Structure 1
Amino acid sequence: MPHWTHELAGTRARQSEREWLSPDADRIRSTLGDGAVTWAVEVGEDIATRISREMPILREGASQPSAVRRATTSTALRALTLVAGLGEPDTSLASAEVEEVAVDFARRGLELNDLLGSIRVGYAVLAAAILDAALRLIPPAESSAELRRVSVLLFEVLDQFTGVAATTFLEERSAWAAGVSAARLDFVKKIVEAEPVDPSRADEVLGYPLGGHHLAIIAWSGPHAGHDLRSIVDPVLRHWGIPTATLVIPVGLQTIWAWGAVSPDQGHVLREPLPEFGDISVVVGQLGSGVDGFRRSHMEARAVERIVRLRADQPRTTCTHEDFALEVLLLAEPDAAAGFASRLLGPLADDDARTADLRSTLIRYLDMDHSLAKVAAAEHISKNTVTYRVHKALSLCEHPPGASTTNLRAALRVHEWLRGGTTSRPDA
C-alpha cells in the first residue's frame, strides 16, 4: 500500500524555484510525485514567512530572504524524505543551504540566540504542516500509530539539526572575528548606531578618512550573480566625481556596504541615470559631511534598500535616495501606506492592463502640470484619449472635481512602487 505521503499536493502552479531546488526534490519527485515537491516548497515558503514575521531583527541585517527560503525549503524536503523513508536512516535534516544561512548570520554580527530562535519558529511550522497532512491523509484507524512515529522522528532529528547549525555559526564567527572585515564592520556599526568613536582610530581600523564628504552605497546580489559586488563601487561613485578614498565592507555572503569620499562641489551636478548592473541591486544615499554625514548617507541608503525589498518580484535595480526620498517617507510604514493607497484609489488600483493604462496616463498628467499636449506627446496618443483616460481614472477613484490632488498623487506613487513599477528617476 502506498505511503500516505504519495497523496501530498500543493495548491499553486510550479514556479522558478525548480532552478535552485536541492537533489532531494528530484528523489521526492521520482518517488512521491510532483505534488509532494510542490507541497514541500509551499511549506518552506510558509516557514520563511513566519520567521520573518516573528523575528523582526532578521528583516534587516540577516540573510537574504531568498537564501532563507532556500534553506527552509531544503529542510522541508529533507524532512519529507525522512518521514517517507526515502533516504538513509542516518540522513541529516541539515543541508548545505542551512549551513550557508548559519554562516551568513555569523558574518552579519547576529547572535547565536537569533539563529536558534529562527530554528524554533521554523521547526514549529514544519512539524505542524507534516502532522496536519498526516492527520488529513491517513485513515483514522491507522493515524494514531503513524502520528506517534512521525512525532518521535521529528523530535529525534531536531537536536542534530540544531547542533549542525549552531556549530557552523560558532566556527564561522570565530574565524570572522579575527579578520579585518569584522573589525571594520564592528567599527562602522558603532558609527551607524551613533556611538562615540575616536576619529583618529578610523584611519587605523577603516583605512578611510571620516573627516571628508561621504556617499554611501549598499549593493546586493542573488546566489549566482555574475558580477563581483566590489566592482560596482567605483562606477557608481564616478557619477558624483572621482573618489579620493573608498571603503568596502562585506556584510554577509551577498551584500556589501560601501562609502566613497567625494568632493562636495561635485555632489550637485546634473547626473545621467545610474547604470544597471545586471543581477546586482544598488542603492545610494545622499552626500554627507563628517561622521554625521557618513552615518546619514548610509541610513538613507538603508531606507531605499528597505523599500526596494518591499516590491513584489523586484528585478535588480539601481536607485538613489535623492530620486526616491518621497517614496522612502511614504513607505516608512508599508502596511499603512498600502492601506492608504487602496482606500484612495479604489477600483483604480486593479491589476488589469486597461486600468494600468489609466493610472499611467493620470500619473503623467499630474506630473506634467495637467498639460494634455505634453502627456499626448509622451504617450503617443491623442489629446482626446488623454482627456478620456484622465476623466475615467478620476471617476474610478471617485476624486472630487476641483479637489487637491496631493493625496491622490501620493497614493499613486505608493501603489506604483509596491506593484513593481519602474525605478527610473521620476523626472527622467
Structure 2
Amino acid sequence: MVVQTETASGTATPPAVRELAAELLPQSAEIARAMNDHLFAMMPELRERDDGELRLETLASCEVNIAQVLRLQKLGAGPQQLVLPVEAAEWARSLVRRGITLATLLRAYRLGHAWLWDRWSQQLYERVPDSEECIAAEQHSSAFMFAYIDLISDVLVAEYGSERERVMRSAEQLRAETVRAILAGEPLDGEVASRRLGYELRRHHVALRVSGRGSELRGLERAAREAAAAVGAGDPLVVATGAATVDVWSGALRPPGPLTGLDAYVPPDGILVAVGTPGQGIDGFRRSHVEALQAGRVAALARGAAAAVTRYERVELVALLASDFPRARAFVGTRLGSLAAPDESAGRLRETVLAFLVAGGSATRVAKLLFVHQNTVAYRVKRAEELLGRRVTDDPIELTCALTLAAVLGSSVLAEDDEGEPPAGE
C-alpha cells in the first residue's frame, strides 16, 4: 500500500546523499542484521518474547525498511513515496498475536531510526570534506528520515489496530494468552485453563511447531491440523504464534504409541514441522512444546539438509550438543580437522566412520548397512585416520558427537573449502 500524503517540501536531494545511499543499498541485509541485534539488546520487551521466529520477523522488517530508505534517497524521491512493505505489516500483526504492545512497536522504530542515523551521519561526515555541503546533506537526510518514520508509523498504527480488533473479536487472543501463561509456568487452574482453550489439559500431549516462510496463516493452520491428525485422532489445539509459525498440541486420553503416522506424513511444499515427545498434563504440555522448539531449532541450523518433519527424539543429542552453536561448530572443526571438509568424499568418510563407531568397530555390520564391501569400509576408516592424525578409537565418544553434529547439521558446522588441502579421498 502506498502512503498518500501532502507532497513533502524541501530542496533537491544533495548528490552526496544519493551517492551514499547507492553505496549502502547493496549492504541492506548486513546493516539490518546489526540493527536487529541492537534492537534485541536494547529492548527486553522483544527479547523476553523471542522464540527464534520473532527475531527473524524483526530482521525481515528491518531489512525492507532500510532498503526502502536507501532506495528512495538514491532516487532523490521524497518520503511520501514510501510503500508499506509486506514484511513490516506482517511484523506489526505478529506483535499483536504475541501480545506485544503498540508502544513497543513504535519504540522499535524510534530506536532503529536513531541507530541508523548515527551510522548514516558518520558516513556523511567522513566522505564530505566541505563543511557547508556536509551540513546541507545532513539536514536533508535528517528531514527525510524523520518524515519517513512519522509517515510509516501512522500506517503501522492503523495496521496494528486493525489486527488487534480482529484478534480481540475472537477467542483466539484468550487462547493465546492462556497458552503463554502455561508455557511461562504461571500458576493456573487446570480446569479453567482447559475451558478457555477448549482443550483438555489432563490428557497426554504431543506438541508441534509448524512454520513456513511466505505461507499465509490459513495455509499454516490447515497444515498444522493435518500434521496433528498424523499424530493422532481428536481435535488439536492450534494457536498462531507469529507471522509464519503455528503451535499445535494433539491430545489423547491414553499415552500415544510410537507416532508411526508421522513417518508417512509429508507437509505441503515450504512447510516445516517440528515435533516434541509425548507428555501428560500441564507439565507435559509445556515440556513437549519446548522439545518441538528445540527440534525446530535443529532443523533451522541444518538449513537445506533438514527433513520436512523433525522429531525431537531423533535429534535430541544434536539439540543438546548445539545448544551453544558457535562452540559446537568449533568443536566439529577441532575434532574432525580435514575430515570436516564440505565435499562428497569427506562426507562418505564421515558417514562410514560414524557407522563404524556406532557398530562397535564391526566392518561387517557397516558393510551391510552401507551396501559396500568390507574392504571399502576398512579403506575409508584408514583414510579417515590419516586425515584425523589418530585412530578413530582413540576418542570414540568425542568423535561420535562431532560426526553426529556434521551428519545432522551439514554445511552449517563444516569447514569452508581450503585451497591447498589434499582431497579427502574415497
Specify the code of the residue in structure 2 equivalent to 1:196.
P
Contact 2:78 2:144 in 1 (8 A): no
**Structure 1 residue aligned with 2:358, among 367, 370, 384?**
367
Contact 2:255 2:278 in 1 (8 A): no
Q: Which runs of 4+ in 1 moved over 6 A?
A: none
**Structure 1 unaligned residues grouped into runs of 5+:** 10-31, 422-428
Alignment pair present for 1:191 and 2:182: yes
Contact 2:207 2:277 in 1 (8 A): yes
Per-residue deviation, 1:282? 0.6
Contact 1:52 1:58 in 2 (8 A): no
Per-residue deviation, 1:3? 3.6
Per-residue deviation, 1:186? 0.8
**Do the aligned partners of residues 169 and 89 (structure 1) sit closer, same or farther apart at CA in structure 2, a change above 3 Å counting?**
closer
Match of 1:397 in 2: 388
TM-score when normalising by structure 1: 0.78
Per-residue deviation, 1:263? 4.8
**Structure 1 residue aligned with 2:198, among 207, 210, 233?**
207
RMSD, aligned CA: 3.4
Match of 1:256 in 2: 246
Alignment pair present for 1:290 and 2:300: no
**Do the aligned partners of residues 109 and 309 (structure 1) sit closer, same or farther apart at CA in structure 2, a change above 3 Å counting?**
farther
Per-residue deviation, 1:106? 1.2
Using the alignment, how far apart are the partners of 1:387 and 1:53 within structure 2? 51
Contact 1:203 1:209 in 2 (8 A): yes
Match of 2:156 in 1: 165
Specify the code of the residue in structure 2 equivalent to 1:38.
P
**Do the aligned partners of residues 140 and 109 (structure 1) sit closer, same or farther apart at CA in structure 2, a change above 3 Å counting?**
same
Match of 2:417 in 1: none
**Structure 2 unaligned residues grouped into runs of 5+:** 1-12, 413-426
**Structure 2 residue aligned with 1:97, among 87, 103, 115?**
87
1:356-381 per-position Cα deviation (integer Å, ceiling 9, x unaligned): 33222222222333332343344444
Using the alignment, how far apart are the partners of 1:216 and 1:358 within structure 2? 36
Match of 1:338, SS? helix
Contact 1:274 1:318 in 2 (8 A): no
**Do the aligned partners of residues 8 and 364 (structure 1) sit closer, same or farther apart at CA in structure 2, a change above 3 Å counting?**
farther
Specify the code of the residue in structure 2 equivalent to 1:71.
S
1:10-29 per-position Cα deviation (integer Å, ceiling 9, x unaligned): xxxxxxxxxxxxxxxxxxxx
Specify the code of the residue in structure 1 equivalent to 2:288.
S
Alignment pair present for 1:47 and 2:35: yes
Per-residue deviation, 1:41? 4.3
Contact 1:219 1:283 in 2 (8 A): yes
TM-score when normalising by structure 2: 0.79
1:354-408 per-position Cα deviation (integer Å, ceiling 9, x unaligned): 3233222222222333332343344444433322322332343344564241111
Contact 2:332 2:402 in 1 (8 A): yes
Per-residue deviation, 1:310? 2.9
Specify the code of the residue in structure 1 equivalent to 2:85.
S
Using the alignment, how far apart are the partners of 1:198 and 1:127 within structure 2? 49
Q: What is the identity percentage for the equivalent residue pairs of Structure 1 and Structure 2?
A: 26
Match of 1:257, SS? strand
Using the alignment, how far apart are the partners of 2:249 and 2:304 within structure 1? 28
Alignment pair present for 1:76 and 2:66: yes
Per-residue deviation, 1:121? 4.7
Contact 2:352 2:366 in 1 (8 A): yes
How many positions carry a matched residue from both structures? 395
Using the alignment, how far apart are the partners of 1:393 and 1:126 within structure 2? 49
Return 93-102 or 128-137, whichever deviates more: 128-137
Alignment pair present for 1:38 and 2:29: no
Match of 2:350, SS? helix
Match of 1:335 in 2: 326
Alignment pair present for 1:111 and 2:105: no
Return 130-139 or 154-163, whichever deviates more: 130-139
